[in-house]
Amino acid sequence: MIELPVDLPAELVPLSWLIGFWEGSGVVDYRFDDGSVAQAEFGQRISFSHDGLPYLNYTSYTWLFPDEPGGEIRPLTSETGYWRLARPLDDGDAGPGLLPPTAGHTYVTAEDVERLRSPEDGGFDIEVQIVHPGSVNELYVGIVKGPRIDLMTDAVIRTRSSKEYAAATRLYGLVDGHLLWAWDIAAFGQDLRTHASARLAKAD
């Protein structure tokens, strides 16, 4: 059973099952065209939170498990970003920059948010921005339908100093109280292919 925070903005209800801390483990299994394979087991801690605004704050931290018993845990990488329902921003939203809203918020009640539901598939379109420390910024579009989220990159922005990375898809699902995800990437001139997956449990 999912308990909704009393101060949750109505727009976040379709994403509310993500809120909290999740921790667990996963595997990297990425195959290169030359036949080589990158494989590793990692740990991960994810946080989805909100600050009263109509988006979720997202952070992820991952680490590599020791190669042998008694070895050291090594930091791997991190991500940060924002998740929100896709809709045109209006006078009830802040921005650009620090410009304050000039009208009341449009989506206040559950009935207001229901207007954003897709009549074709019954889900809600979402937009996700994820920033990597290696000078890569992913812009995803996708859909949340119940306890499942499907995402695909609409754009990948990177600097000349970053590693080659062109596109990605991500899948998130709530299964038996666990957060499961899978992430496919197109990198190093290769096509979109399996990259990593994990299973996470709710943490304190």
Residue 5 domain-assigned?
no
Q: Residue 155: which domain range? A: 10-203
How far is C-alpha 53 from the geometric centre of its chain's CA atoms? 17
Per the domain annotation, does 45 fall within a domain?
yes
Total domains present in the chain: 1
Task: Answer whether residue 141 is part of any domain.
Answer: yes
Residue 2, in any domain of the structure: no
For the stretch 124-162, pLDDT in tens is 999 999 999 999 999 999 999 999 999 999 999 999 999
Query: Hey, what are 26's tokens?
Result: 């996963």
pTM, full prediction: 0.93
**Tens of pLDDT, residues 92-102:** 999 999 999 99
Residue reference for tokens 């903005």: 9
Element housing 169 (H / E): strand 165-175
- With contact defined as beta carbons under 8 Å apart, do 1 and 158 qualify? no
